[in-house]
Amino acid sequence: MPQTCQALARLHGVRVTVLPVGADGRLDPATLAAALRDSEATLVSVMAADNETGVLQPIRELAALAHRHGALFHCDAAQATGKIPLDVAALGVDLLTVVGHKMYAPKGIGALCIRSGVELEPVVCGGGQEHGLRASTENVATGTNSSPPHPTSPPPPAPPTTAAPTPHPPYSRQWESSSHGR
């Protein structure tokens, strides 16, 4: 059982069911349907492509099946990214993860695509980064900030001015023009 599932079971009492695959390495939709009929599953998680065999799972069919039983569907697309077309909307998944090192990005970088309307709880509480889903310091090394400012964050400081200070008071229209580039 994957470590994340073990942790969910141990820490939160989540019941985890691991389903077998067939001789061809694929999850039979009938196996998933039977498991969903006999449970109160809220999430189904399936790898799009197996990292050892390359077997591709029928993600669109499995996602539709999970939805019919009221469960969200997560697709781990780490091995599939860049190798097969991945259209999140066409797959019908609620959540899709990719990892950066499969696309020549540094290790430790990943992305989670979240269908509009799916609400998640933060893993680590305490910050407004990533729409309130992650605490810690924002990665500013890239020069971009992917998150909108938190609603309670103070406004960012004005950019520094290169113009020489003028004798006008700091809140005059002339000062605002030179310091904000208006």
The pLDDT score that the predictor gives to residue 156 is 58
Query: Does the pTM exceed 0.95?
Result: no
Q: Go through 83-109 and write b for each residue having 16 or more CB atoms within 10 A of its CB, e for each that does not.
A: eeebeeeebbbbbbbbbeebeeeeeee
Task: Pull the structure tokens for residue 92.
Answer: 């019908």
Bridge partners of 49? 56
Stretch (H or E) spanning 46:
strand 43-47
Q: Is the pLDDT of residue 161 over 60?
A: no
How far apart (Å, rounded) are the C-alpha atoms in residues 17 and 8?
Answer: 12
- pLDDT bin (cut points 50, 70, 90) of residue 63 is very high
What digits encode the pLDDT tens for the residues 7-60? 988 998 988 999 999 999 999 999 999 999 988 889 999 999 998 999 999 999
Strands of the sheet with 110-114, listed across from one edge: 43-47, 72-76, 95-99, 110-114
CB atoms within 10 A of CB 126: 10
Indicate the length of the chain as a whole number: 182
More confident residue, 136 or 65: 65
What digits encode the pLDDT tens for the residues 37-52? 988 889 999 999 998 9
Nearest Cα neighbor of 42 from 98, 96, 101, 120 is: 120
How far apart (Å, rounded) are the C-alpha atoms in residues 113 and 93?
Answer: 9
Task: Pull the structure tokens for residue 161.
Answer: 């001015």
